[in-house]
């Protein structure tokens, strides 16, 4: 697979380490009253869809950025690649 890195252009997926569902960006607040249930869900449960899946790829053998890749799990076709930093900031996180 070729991942079209927003900063570096097309890169071989072998340069990346797969980190799982992009929902892992949304780490629960440990002080929330529902924190225990939220962390169980965060740590263990997955949507695991067939079809479009937003997921984290870490450019370990490259610029060490995290990317959010939208990819079809039935065809491996990649629809969109974003910097995870931008995604996190767009959700109101500081970084």
33 touches another protein (CB under 8 A): no
Q: Which of 69, 50, 45, 61 is nearest to 12 (CA)?
A: 61
Comparing CB distances to another protein, the nearer of 26 and 55 is: 55
* 19: phi then psi, degrees, rounded to nearest 5: -115, 0
From the centroid of its chain, how far is CA 24? 7
CB of 18 vs another protein, minimal distance in Å:
4
75 touches another protein (CB under 8 A): yes
Tally Cβ neighbours within 10 Å of residue 13.
15
48 touches another protein (CB under 8 A): yes
Binding site for another protein (CB under 8 A): 1, 12-14, 17-18, 20-21, 40, 43-50, 53, 55, 71, 73-76
């Amino acid at each position: 697979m070729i991942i079209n890195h927003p900063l570096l252009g097309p890169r071989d997926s072998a340069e990346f380490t797969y980190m799982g569902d992009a929902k892992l960006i949304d780490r629960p607040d440990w002080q929330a009253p529902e924190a225990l249930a939220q962390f169980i869900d965060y740590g263990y449960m997955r949507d695991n869809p067939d079809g479009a899946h937003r997921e984290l790829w870490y450019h370990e053998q490259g610029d060490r950025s995290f990317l959010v890749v939208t990819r079809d799990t039935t065809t491996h076709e990649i629809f969109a690649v974003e910097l995870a930093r931008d995604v996190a900031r767009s959700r109101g996180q500081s970084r």
